[in-house]
Amino acid sequence: MRKNILEVSHLRVWDEATGNVLVRDSSFQVRPGSCLSIVGESGSGKSVTCRAVMRLNKSGIRQSGDIRFDGVELGRLSEKEMRNIRGKQICMILQHGMSAFDPSRPIGVHVAETLARHYGWSKSEITAKAKSAMESVRLKDPIGVLHKYPHQLSGGMLQRIMIALALMLEPDLIIADEPTTALDTVSQFEVVEQLMALRERIGCAMLFVSHDLGVVGKLADDILVMKEGEIVERGSAEVLFSNARHAYTRELVSAKRVLHEHFTKVMGGVDLADR
């Protein structure tokens, strides 16, 4: 059996100025090709955990513990070495697509610079690969999209662009931090479908963060439940959906059922919603 692609051991994250502990002694693993979802309400420590893995928390936020990616201790790497890992080996899809792109430059500039960092492709090769990847996530007129600024595109389109970029980079691990929260219900459904297709196409592992189990149920193999900076329950998606032990998890599962009923109604029936 292959080793875990990501191993987090005794992660602790705190605000140096206030002493407020944001994540308390978290340990978890992500298996190659699997999807581990972290669920919990806002402020539970989900996003802080993701940024800790990427070493992207704000100045003044400190962390301790070990984070190993493919056997490499990320905390021992220089910032230059981390930049080489970000994108090509670990790709992050953010909650708000607008924050992922420079608002003063067209989308195509960001895509070209990201790909140029990791590959020796020519401008024409980058354009061709970007066009193909964007078409695969059902973006119409991809060349036109590349010439637009972030504010000219919807949240759903920006999420699709980040997924298309992941298709081009073919990372070993994708960290998707609340990628559907800012979207309407139909766009949520479409983005989840694209994430499922992305996993199937490139065989990557995924760390998927969300506050609702309705979306998680479409993707996750295993689930961690976080509350106030602590992991309160963990297990396979099948077990947690059917036999949750912690009261907080049961509350989330109940909310998931309500969301599923709404999802079914919006999508026009059980068969389509359950695809």
Q: What is the 3-state secondary structure (H, E, C) of the chain?
A: CCCCCEEEEEEEEEECCCCCEEEEEEEEEECCCCEEEEECCCCCCHHHHHHHHHCCCCCCEEEEEEEEECCEEHHHCCHHHHHHHECCCEEEECCCHHHHCCCCCCHHHHHHHHHHHHCCCCHHHHHHHHHHHHHHCCCCCHHHHHCCCHHHCCHHHHHHHHHHHHHHHCCCEEEEECCCCCCCHHHHHHHHHHHHHHHHHHCCEEEEEECCHHHHCCCCCEEEEEECCEEEEEEEHHHHHHHCCCHHHHHHHHHHHHHHHHHHHHHCCHHHHCC
Give the pLDDT confidence score for residue 259 in this predicted structure: 58
Q: How crowded is the C-beta side of 257, counted as CA atoms within 13 Å?
A: 7
Report the C-alpha gap between 125 and 135 in whole angstroms.
15
- Short-list 210, 214, 153, CA closest to 185: 214
In DSSP terms, 227 is beta-bridged to: 230
- Does 177 have pLDDT greater than 70? yes
- Does 30 have pLDDT greater than 60? yes
CATH code that applies to domain 6-273: 3.40.50.300
Give the pLDDT confidence score for residue 38 in this predicted structure: 95
Contact call for residues 55 and 74 (beta carbons, < 8 A): yes
pLDDT tens column, 188-241: 788 888 888 888 888 999 999 987 777 788 889 999 999 999 999 999 988 888
Mean pLDDT of 84-111: 88
- Does 267 have pLDDT greater than 70? no
Radius of gyration for the alpha carbons in the chain, expressed in angstroms and rounded: 19
Mean pLDDT of 3-15: 96
Report the C-alpha gap between 251 and 26 in whole angstroms.
22
Phi, psi values for residue 29, rounded to 5°:
-135, 150
Phi, psi values for residue 159, rounded to 5°:
-65, -40
% of residues, the chain, pLDDT over 70: 91
- Does 55 have pLDDT greater than 80? yes
Report the C-alpha gap between 213 and 253 in whole angstroms.
6
- Short-list 170, 100, 183, CA closest to 133: 170
Q: What is the largest CA-CA distance in the chain?
A: 55
- Does 155 have pLDDT greater than 90? no
Which residue is it, tokens 């067209």? 106
Other CB atoms within 10 Å distance of the CB of residue 128: 12
Other CB atoms within 10 Å distance of the CB of residue 48: 22
